Structure 1
Amino acid sequence: MGILSTLFGQSTSQLTEYIAKGAIYLDVRTEREFNTNHIKTALNIPLQELNYRVDEIKKTNKPVVVYCASGARSSSATRFLKQNGVDAINGGGISKVRNAIFS
């Protein structure tokens, strides 16, 4: 995995693969950002709360596509989720994930 995909999200084909597997969308932006614009079915857990709420994600028993505004926060969240046994990828920014969903 290259540094750019680590920071800004996976390839569109990998996103499409996770979407096809029924992944949940995890928005790690702030509540304010989420309320302004988000993917309709996304779960909002701000990055600073993820540590305390990881069990919510584990209970879904589904793969996870993590996104934020640009991909930086989602990169940190993805790394944390993987360390906690969650099948997660960094989707990058919201626009990239939205494009993958509707392509």
Structure 2
Amino acid sequence: MQALAARAARGMWPAAAGAGRGQVQVQAARGIVVQVREGNLERALQVMERKMRSSGVERLIKRRTEHHVKNSEKRVLARKALMARVRSQELGRSLRDILIKKIRGQ
């Protein structure tokens, strides 16, 4: 049993094997913490799904797996990427202008 506890502490073994009532389980990759209260695992899973959706883990998983993307979703993602690119270019231009003014001493 001590070997299992040591492996769980090092992250080599799932912590759920020794999870009892009221223990906190941590997903190390994103820092999501879910408490299982009074042995209600269904409620804990609902809370975990909500936290994963809000933190963006769900989008990361979808991006890495092969799945169909609707055309409307493609358009939304393309528009967001375009807006991010435009904002980045505008920021670069404004920073360049500021640096030029500083160099010229104005």
- For Structure 1 versus Structure 2, the TM-score category normalised by the shorter chain is under 0.3
Higher relative CO (Cα under 8 Å, sequence separation at least 6) belongs to 1
Bigger proportion of residues as helix? 2
Bigger proportion of residues as strand? 1
Provide TM-score, normalisation by structure 1. Answer: 0.23
Provide TM-score, normalisation by structure 2. Answer: 0.23
Task: Report which of the two structures shows the higher radius of gyration computed on alpha carbons.
Answer: 2
